Chains A and B, each alone.
Chain A
């Protein structure tokens, strides 16, 4: 069985500061891991994904995430926050079967 826990339902950062959104997963099989972003009144957009290979994954808009198997984590980071990064972020896991399991989401606020 798979599950995802996102620590912190709300995160606030100043513009230009580091963004760190936390995601821990549980999976009985090698997981596929994803980060999605959702802007108001829109669907989810894929930011990045981990399948196999390099554990540091780079995505769109300057975001990256590192798969740490020993910590069962897949935290999302961005060195410098921009006002346009304000959105809801979802971590998801898929593995073995065909179903995605999403976290409850983290709302990111960027303070000017």
Chain B
């Protein structure tokens, strides 16, 4: 099976702009989670989507939003970019198995730089 793919891999934006990142999960996975990774804060959970519905949300401002499509692909959007939004954004997909616990499979990430 193909792994989790994220596009684009690198992105440079200017303060005040908006950005959309894309994530294609592993085939058959219906859950997609997004994380922000920075040197100072580590991995921080943004939100999770399952069957096109947001199931969990982390503690991020409303400028961060996401959605999931019927084919499980997901996008996240950041509006009014700030310098502090510079980070590696990771997407993870999972297929929940009650017996085995839930493994998350990560994509390579999108490196966003805000100038």
Binding site for B on A (CB under 8 A): 32, 34, 36, 41-46, 49, 51-52, 90, 94, 97-105
Contact = CB atoms under 8 A, between A and B. Distances in A.
Nearest to B91: A43
B96 A43 contact: no
Interface of B: 4, 31, 33, 35, 42-43, 45, 48, 50, 55-56, 90, 92, 96, 99-109, 111
Contacts of A46: 103-105
B87 to A, nearest CB: 13
B74 to A, nearest CB: 15
A46 B4 CA distance: 13
Contact of B102 (A36, A98, A103): A98
A98 B55 contact: yes
Contacts of B56: 97-99
Contact of A51 (B35, B42, B50, B101): B101
Nearest to B41: A104
Contact of B43 (A34, A90, A97, A98): A90
Given A41-B108, A100-B45, A102-B42, 9 more contacts: A32-B101, A41-B111, A44-B90, A49-B103, A51-B101, A97-B56, A98-B31, A98-B102, A105-B43
A46 B105 CA distance: 7
B49 to A, nearest CB: 11
A92 to B, nearest CB: 8
7 contacts: A43-B108, A43-B109, A99-B56, A100-B33, A100-B104, A101-B45, A102-B35
A46 B3 CA distance: 13
B96 A51 contact: no
